[in-house]
Amino acid sequence: YDSEGGDLTSAGRLEGKLREKTLTLDTLNPQVKAVEYAVRGPIVIKAGEIERYLEEGGTKPFSEVIKANIGDAHAMGQQPITFLRQVVALCTFPELMDSPSFPEDAKWRARRILQGCGGHSLGSYSASPGVECIRKDIAAYIEQRDEGVPSDWENIYLTTGASDGIMTILRLLVSGKDSSRTGVMIPIPQYPLYSAAISEMDAVQVNYYLDEDNCWALDINELYRAYQAAKLHCQPRVICIINPGNPTGQVQSKKCIEEVLHFAYEENLFVMSDEVYQDNVYTPDCQFHSFKKVLYEMGPEYFNSVELASFHSTSKGYTGECGFRGGYMEVINMDPEVKAQMVKLLSVRLCPPLAGQAAMDVIVNPPQPDEHSYKQFRQEKSSVLGALADKAKLTEQILNAVPGIKCNPVQGAMYAFPRIFIPPKAVEEAKALGMQPDMFYCLRLLEETGICVVPGSGFGQKDGTYHFRMTILPSIEKLKVLLGKVRDFHIRFLKEYSALE
Nearest distance from residue 459's CB to a second copy, in Å? Answer: 14
C-beta closer to a second copy: residue 10 or 63: 10
Nearest distance from residue 68's CB to a second copy, in Å? Answer: 13
Q: Find the Cα–Cα–Cα–Cα dihedral 466, 469, 474, 478, rounded to 10°.
A: -10
Binding residue (CB under 8 A) for a second copy from 279, 307, 330, 396: 307
Nearest distance from residue 266's CB to a second copy, in Å? Answer: 9
Point out which span in 174-182, 207-215, 419-427, 452-460 binds a second copy (CB under 8 A): 174-182
Q: Which residue type does 228 have? A: Q
CB-based burial, 75-92: b 16+ in 10 Å, e otherwise? ebebebbebbbbbbbbbe
Does the footprint of a second copy cover residue 341 (CB under 8 A)? Answer: yes
**Strand (E) or helix (H) holding 362:** helix 354-364
Which positions from 232 through 271 interact with a second copy, judged by CB under 8 A? 237-238, 265, 268-270
Does the footprint of a second copy cover residue 476 (CB under 8 A)? Answer: no
**The total number of residues written for the chain in this structure:** 501
Does the footprint of a second copy cover residue 183 (CB under 8 A)? Answer: no
**Ramachandran assignment for 124, one of left (phi > 0), alpha (psi -120 to 50 degrees), beta (any other):** beta
Q: Where are the alpha helices (DSSP H) in 206-308?
A: 220-231, 254-267, 291-297, 300-303
Which positions from 399 through 458 interact with a second copy, judged by CB under 8 A? none
Phi, psi for 74 (deg, rounded to 5): -65, -35
DSSP secondary structure, 62-103, as one string: SS--EE-SS--TGGGTPPPPHHHHHHHHHHH-GGGGG-TTS-
Binding residue (CB under 8 A) for a second copy from 179, 376, 475, 498: 179
Widest CA span in the chain: 81
Does the footprint of a second copy cover residue 74 (CB under 8 A)? Answer: yes
Binding residue (CB under 8 A) for a second copy from 353, 374, 390, 393: 353
Binding residue (CB under 8 A) for a second copy from 139, 158, 230, 355: 355
**Ramachandran assignment for 4, one of left (phi > 0), alpha (psi -120 to 50 degrees), beta (any other):** alpha
Which positions from 12 through 51 interact with a second copy, judged by CB under 8 A? 12-13, 19-25, 27-33, 35-37, 39-41, 48
Does the footprint of a second copy cover residue 118 (CB under 8 A)? Answer: yes
Binding residue (CB under 8 A) for a second copy from 110, 139, 185, 197: 197
State the burial class of residue 429 (Cβ atoms within 10 Å of its Cβ: 0-12, 13-18, 19+).
middle
Nearest distance from residue 484's CB to a second copy, in Å? Answer: 23
Does the footprint of a second copy cover residue 351 (CB under 8 A)? Answer: yes
Does the footprint of a second copy cover residue 345 (CB under 8 A)? Answer: yes
C-beta closer to a second copy: residue 72 or 396: 72
Does the footprint of a second copy cover residue 482 (CB under 8 A)? Answer: no
Which positions from 85 through 114 interact with a second copy, judged by CB under 8 A? 85-86, 88-89, 92-93, 96, 99, 101
Binding residue (CB under 8 A) for a second copy from 297, 323, 371, 404: 323
Does the footprint of a second copy cover residue 300 (CB under 8 A)? Answer: yes
Three-class secondary structure of residue 483 per DSSP: helix
Distance CA 49, CA 57 (A): 13
Cβ proximity of 241 and 219 under 8 Å: no
